[in-house]
Structures are given as C-alpha cells and as structure tokens.
C-alpha cells in the first residue's frame, strides 16, 4: 500500500510534467488504428489508450491507461514490455484521424485482455476519498474532455449529414 505522502509526491510530479504540447507523428510513420492496440499519445506527458472498439464513422472507443499506477482507483495492472499500466475508471472517445496523427501503437493485446480491462473499469470507482487520487483522475479527465466531446460532436454531425443525404435520395425517388 502506498502512503499518502508518496501519492502527493506522485501527483506533484505528474502536475509538474503537464504541458499543452501535442506532437504529431510524421505522415510517413503513421499506423492505422486497430482494436487491441495500446497507443501512446505524444502529449506532455505521454498518455496511453487501449483501443477496444472502432465505429464505421471513425469514432474510436478507448480506455485511458496510466503509468502512474498508484494514482488510479483501478486495481488491475497490465505488464506490457518494460512498463506497468493501470486503466483509469472511465472511457474516452477519439477520432481515428486524431489517433493516427498524435499517437503510435506500442503493443497489441488479446481480446481476453480487453474484456478484463473493461470489467475492471466498470467495477472501479470514478471518485476517491484519497485527495491525490481524486485530483489525478480529474486532471486526466480534463485532458481528454475536450477531445472526447469534439469527437462525439463531429461523429454526430457526420451521421446527420449521411442521414440527410439518404433521406434526400429517398424523397427524390418518390
């Protein structure tokens, strides 16, 4: 068990590393998004996501993962290569294009691992009585909040446009 002082120190280190910079992957090095990938987002600091579903319109469902394992409420640990990850207790939605531009796959996991992560996320509280954990979850959610909302809105706009086009074709045929 990690004590509160260690949690406070970890939270301070995370806060100190936060920046607004979001780097892009060179076009020639971009890799298509696939279910099961763990991708590193080149933000400051790096963030990680596990891709678990991709919709036809390009909306990607993902679970954020963190290397700051003591600061999450999820007890599951994933040992991938030389790192230890823990899921965060929420899901995010990202456009496929954004992921291809701002992230790169570092590993691929099996379907059983995806299911295990999703079960752990469902069971994990999104709030903690321990202040450093609570602050960490809020900070990470804030990093994903705008991109999640804009991705959902953009996908909704695409669906409305497709619906309008299909509806117009039906009316033209009548």
For 102-154, the pLDDT digits (tens) are 999 999 999 999 999 999 999 999 989 999 999 999 999 999 999 999 999 99
Complete DSSP assignment for 112-131:
HHHHHHHHHHHHS-S--SSH
pLDDT, position 161: 85
pLDDT of 173 over the 90 cut: no
Range of the domain at 100: 4-173
Instruction: Provide the domain count of the chain.
Output: 1
Instruction: Tell me whether residue 50 is exposed, middle or buried, using C-beta atoms within 10 angstroms of its C-beta: 0 to 12, 13 to 18, 19 or more.
Output: buried
The answer to whether residues 108 and 81 touch, using CB atoms and an 8 Å cutoff, is no
For 66-92, the pLDDT digits (tens) are 999 999 999 999 999 999 999 999 999
pLDDT, position 165: 79
């Amino acid at each position: 068990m990690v004590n509160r002082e260690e949690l406070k120190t970890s939270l301070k280190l995370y806060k100190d590393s936060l920046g607004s910079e979001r780097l892009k992957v060179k076009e020639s090095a971009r890799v298509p998004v696939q279910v099961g990938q763990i991708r590193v987002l080149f933000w400051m600091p790096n963030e990680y996501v596990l891709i678990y579903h991709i919709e036809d319109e390009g909306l990607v469902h993902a679970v954020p993962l963190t290397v700051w394992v003591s600061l999450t409420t999820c007890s599951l640990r994933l040992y991938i290569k030389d790192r230890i990850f823990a899921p965060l207790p929420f899901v995010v939605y990202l456009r496929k294009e954004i992921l291809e531009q701002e992230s790169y796959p570092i590993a691929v996991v099996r379907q059983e691992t995806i299911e295990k992560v999703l079960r752990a996320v469902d069971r994990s509280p999104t709030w903690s009585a321990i202040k450093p954990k609570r602050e960490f979850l809020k900070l990470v959610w804030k990093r994903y909040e705008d991109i999640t909302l804009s991705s959902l809105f953009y996908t909704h706009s695409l669906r409305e446009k497709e619906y309008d086009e299909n509806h117009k074709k039906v009316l033209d045929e009548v």
